[in-house]
Each structure stands twice: as structure tokens, then as C-alpha cells.
Amino acid sequence: MINYKTINKNENVMVCYSEFTPPKGVTEYQVMIQLTKPGQSYEEQLKLLLDTYSDLKENEFKKGTTIFKRYFLSDAANQTDLLLAAETEHSDCALSIIEQAPCNGTKIALWAFLQTEVSTKALPEGLFEVAHNGYRHLWKGRDFNRASTSEYQTRLLLNNYVMQLSEQNCKLADNCIRTWFFVQNIDVNYAGMVKARNEVFLTQDLTEKTHYIASTGIGGRHPDPQVTVQMDAYAINGIQPAQIQFLYATTHLNPTYEYGVSFERGTCVKYGDRRQVFISGTASINNKGEVVYPGDVRKQTNRMWENVEALLKEAECSFDDVSQAIIYLRDPADYTIVKELFDNKFPHLPHVIVHAPVCRPKWLIEMECIAVKSDKNDKFKDF
């Protein structure tokens, strides 16, 4: 059972979070902090957001440990250094920072993921370990390099990640659950990212005959303009193959390899006490791989929801089990329409709407989400 809570700390900031509390074991919190007054300076907004999160940690989530944060910025080139300086003082988790401007006109928003009863530590090469009950959850944020093209950058990112996982007794195909690829100028650089990912995956036994990895490939910018691809990732050491279920929803969606890309629509990870579901970036697409309702953001939003619901249903979940969502808009002028649609359908769901072009220009909107649901399976250890 997920409980949702909204806190208006003051007229300038709003906090929405979900709390998943099983009868015993690890509690999960998904937190979205958004500012509401665009008129403040970045320094003022950053301080307000950080102060709000510190207050939440002290009062709302006293037993929660932060395992992952993603900051959404409006101008990474001018804002990242100040944020990193502030984070250095209390860096306590895997950290992701990406230029994907909050569509409400503010300069910064935050998604934070917290869990109770876990132990954490930083590992070499930017990995962050979250350990509990024999599982080691390996989070990675802000991975990038400055190779000459998006293809070479992606190839280097993935090859390095394969080696990093190997050092933790993991394999890309067996242990990686989720990736995010943020692509600068996605209309130009997405093809290079896709080519490199396809080719590296072939070397790792990730094919149309085996499986791929749940993923989002979306527009996003690093503060350095030479960086055209940035990657976040999540893997689990200690997982069994039988615990992983890939989601297809073939009544609504087609296999991604049919149009030349290599990712799973979603992944369900089953534990003794729960199931966690990671839904990839999902847009208004049909089971022939075609864009549905070009030019109509309302109809695209509804078809997108229908697709996500079909994937959740395959994992024996529903929208009632969704703990957080990120919504990407190609055109920020669509924000008012989309916000109204989401507020009406999901009034309590922690979510953020950001400016981030989708990988096909005709897709006006995309969303990803995480769901969690109590389960009982004696074959597997609890989370």
C-alpha cells in the first residue's frame, strides 16, 4: 500500500512524496520537491530547496537514508558549480544532475529516493552501494566523458560500466536493471547513442533473442557542451534470473528492436516481500511502432497513460502502485495542458514535468515511472 502526502512548506515550495511501508522490512520514500515562484534568483531557489530537503530529512524521514537524487536544472552551465559546492557539504548518495528545466518556470527541482534499514557506501568509479538482506543495489549518476561524438561517448560509457560492474561481480546482462541516457540536441545525437548501445549490447549477450534493459533515452544537457551523452544506471548484485520479469504489453506496444533500438519497455523485480517495477520512457506509440496522434498533446497523453497502464498490468500492478513519475515535454508551451491532465488524473502522485525533447520529433510527451507493491514469494529473499 502506498500513501501519498503533499506538504506546502510555504508559498514558494511544494513537496509531494509517496511512502511504501510493508508489514516489515524496508520502507521506501519517493520525494519530489518543486518551487512555485519563478521570480526568485537561482541562489535563492537553491537555498530554499536544500533547506526544505534538510528539514524533511530531520522531521519527516528520520529513519530514511537517501540513496539517489536527481536535480533538474534550467541552465546547467551556470548552475551546476553552485549546486555541486552545496552538495559536497552533505553528499550522501548517488547524484544525478541534468539540464531539464522544470516547466513551471522555476530554475531547479529535485527527485529523491530514500529507504530505511539500509547501509550505504561510495564505491570506486562513481558507484554507490545500498546494501540490505544480501542484496547490493548499485546506483550510478552523472557518468560522462568527452569523446568526439555521441556514438563514441556512449560506447565508452557502456564499456567502462561493464568493467565497473565486473569489479563488483556483476554483468550488464544479468544485473543491470535500469539506465537513463541524457542526450544533448537529441534530434542530432540520438542516432549515435543508439548505434553504440546496440553494438555494445551485442558483445554482452543483450539481443532480441535474450533481453535488453529498461531505459529512458531523452533530451538533456550537461554543463559542458562537449558532453553529448550522460548516463545514470542501477544494478543489483545478489539477484537471481527468476526474480526479473521483462514487460512487453504487446497489445499496445511493439518490441523495440523492430525499429532499431535496444531497450525493454519495463522491468519488474520480484522479492520475497514486494515487487518493484521500472517503466521505461513511454510515449504515444502503437504495437506497430507508429507515433499515435501526431500534433495533439492531449490525445498523446491519454495514449501514453494507456500504454503505461498495460505495462503495469503485466507486472500485476496498476497506477495505484506508482510511487513517482517524470514527464518529459518537447514543447514547454504544452505545460499548462499537461499539468491540468495530470493534476486531474493523479492529484497526489509525486511527479515533475520538465522540458526534454523525446527521441522522435513527433512525440510531444513521454513519461517514466516507478511502482512498488507488496508481494509474498517464498522463492526469494525479502528486499
pLDDT, tens digit, 9 for 90 and up, residues 213-224: 999 999 999 999
Q: Does the pTM of the predicted model rise above 0.75?
A: yes
Express each pLDDT in 189-208 by its tens digit. Answer: 999 999 999 999 999 999 99
What is the distance between the alpha carbons of residues 236 and 383, in angstroms, rounded to a whole number? 11
The predicted pLDDT at position 1 comes to 81
Judged against a pLDDT cut of 70, whether residue 377 lies above it is answered with yes
The predicted pLDDT at position 88 comes to 78
Express each pLDDT in 148-172 by its tens digit. Answer: 999 999 999 999 999 999 999 999 9
DSSP 31-81: EEEEE--TTS-HHHHHHHHHHHHHHHHHHT-TTEEEEEEEEEES-HHHHHH
Judged against a pLDDT cut of 70, whether residue 89 lies above it is answered with no
Express each pLDDT in 41-78 by its tens digit. Answer: 999 999 999 999 999 999 999 889 999 999 999 999 99
**Band of residue 238 on the pLDDT scale cut at 50, 70, 90:** very high
**Band of residue 3 on the pLDDT scale cut at 50, 70, 90:** very high
